[in-house]
Amino acid sequence: MSTKSLKFSQEHEWVRTEEVTAYIGISDFAQQALGDIVFVDLPKTGAKISAGKVFAAVESVKAVSDIFAPISGKIIEVNEALNDAPELINEDPYENWIVMVEMEEPSELLNLMDSEAYDEFCKEGE
C-alpha cells in the first residue's frame, strides 16, 4: 500500500480515511523500532478514543509501547486477527490496522502530517 494517502502523528501512528471512517495503525518506522511484536492489547469495540490519549498497546521482544489516538471517535471495529497473529504488524504495518473508528472531528486530520512531512520528521529524529 502506498503511504501517500495516509496521515501520521508524531507518535508514529497512521490514519487512512474513507469518508467518516478512519483506520488507525502504527507506522513502519514504529514497528522497526519495536522489533518483533508478540502481543497487541486491543481496545473494545464501542469505546471512545480521544486524540492524544492512549487507546491500545503493543508488546515486542524489546518493550511495551502505548499507542496514542491520532484522532477522536468511536471504535467500530478492532482487528481481531492481531489477537492470534500480532506479527502481522511487522509483516505489513500499513495493511494491518489496529482499529476502525467513526471520526468525531474530521478536522483533527489537519493536525497530522502527510507522508512527506512524516518522512522528514523520522529523519530528523535519527
Q: How far apart are CA 104 and CA 20, in angstroms?
A: 8
pTM for the full predicted model: 0.95
Domain limits of the chain? 7-106
- How does pLDDT run across 23-70, given as a tens digit for each residue? 999 999 999 999 999 999 999 999 999 999 999 999 999 899 999 999
> Residue 1 — pLDDT band, cuts 50, 70, 90?
low
> Residue 126 — pLDDT band, cuts 50, 70, 90?
low
- Residue 19: burial class (beta carbons within 10 Å; 0-12, 13-18, 19+): exposed
Q: How far apart are CA 115 and CA 65, in angstroms?
A: 22
Question: What's the CATH class of domain 7-106?
Answer: mainly beta
